[in-house]
Structure 1
């Protein structure tokens, strides 16, 4: 059980939000016809009170994705071998092998991650000589720039994505472009805003503008996020230092083309999550709908995920941690609508580090086992 949070504003948000001096300075910089906009923003921020920043559009439904198996399931054999070379700054390399898959050919991928306080770099290359890179640069507490690139020997599979994100007290504004052309302006341009209008309700809009040759297309989307009141973690059932959390979160996204996506995530206990999502497509004369329900159980040495959807597929994933550096994975999927349509996957995850880092991880593991 969790204890309702009575005090306001919430301690979790006030440490990271700009103070009144920032808002006053924001208004002071505006003059003339723009000054009423700054005054309106100040009044809106005061009305919202303890409302937290709702995150960006991409974070909608993130809890549901972490509960379901969509981003975790695989078939065949899989092995991830990683080596931690440094912790300050963080530097890690990884070798990934995928074999015996019924849907994908055997593959190998080498990746590296380098991270500091305001800089994140990640790169990888596979056996087909396809490479990818990601760079995140945080300029200050309000502005972050992102770059993603992919180079592939297959024509048309290379891409570059540029993004700048502005994080304000109660809203996130994002500007993104994919494969922009400096000569004719072709490419994909995405602008999104997600703002808290109440401590529990956030609304947003996203517009996707595509230009190819002489053809252009605008696709607006409307977003909503509703949460339960922020609650404090129960000190008797949650790990020490656990932050406040929302017991449940519901999201809704509607595209003008006729696509509706809804999600619901509920935290039943510190170790049990359940989630559901619904996707409806009515574009182009289609009438399709898919619903998925899943759950995640966190045990002391393992994590279990299971889900079932309206197409007749039942899936599960078990991750067993024998040691901080070694995990064994088993996954399976059965399609009850298709005879003989079943997949099984086995995987291992091995992480090595220096002797000092290994001792630190072992000490943390023993502390968790001795905890409540």
Structure 2
């Protein structure tokens, strides 16, 4: 009577496959580390990219995509154009426009911490006359102090952009904190937080429209007009803004959407993400070669074990399954470790940037799946080679 070989249960396969890993812990660790580095790189790149996208979405949700900016362009003769003083009220008459605010640059005015600063050290700070509803239009918040109001806009009071405050060494607003602006002393009443959709405000000193005209000879021509429109009508408003702001010369007006800059920046980041994912894939491939090398050496070192098992009735399929399982377990250890490492890197980096930490499910699940595929490919040849060893030859190796 011919006895058929006993079938191995899943638990037995895992136990036999794991025994080879337990007896070669340092080699297993180094091989799994190669896989882990590749998976960690891919997980971290995907996680950081997704976290950056989540931060962008949060910024756009906060600031909105309905902000349009109007600025003067160039004349046909090549000189700089200007917006008429009536541009703001004319834009406000457009039906879907919800709010309009403007800034006017005072090109001749310079800002200094005090009168003892050399004239050349201007710190590249611009002076802007502003409308009172500018923060509401831009979604700007104050870091300290208060914003200009109908009273302070008529007097020498100034609100500093975030970068301006840093350059002047001013940390907070106070009645005794003053700066020299256009040769006049202005009291600092507020400091703004960074304005993502209008970075030009960050490096400016902001004063009221009336005091700019009365004290600094401002001509009243706006240099930038910001408008918020009904979300569904943004494109329609964009089409008529130039002609509305300057009916006589609409070709001398530039209209843009600041949120497009953020979207373009994100598209650039995605291009770099693709490059980094490619590098992670290369690292994963190197880890797979390490697994294959470990399994080949394992077969060579364990020829006696293979011969003994074959002599006791183990089939070629069982030997093949044993070594393939060992390769899959080795890769899985590296893959799971890599996912945890990549998640930790993403969480740490997002925390330093103030972003929400987001690791996509496809990155973690795909990482583990990729390691299993790599493990199966890397372990297939050693497993087949082990199963083909004749028992007598394998036992003779001892």
TM over 0.5: no
More helix by share: 2
* Structure having the higher Rg: 2
More strand by share: 1
What TM-score comes out, normalization by structure 1 length? 0.21
What TM-score comes out, normalization by structure 2 length? 0.20
Higher relative contact order, structure no. (Cα contacts within 8 Å, ≥ 6 residues apart): 2
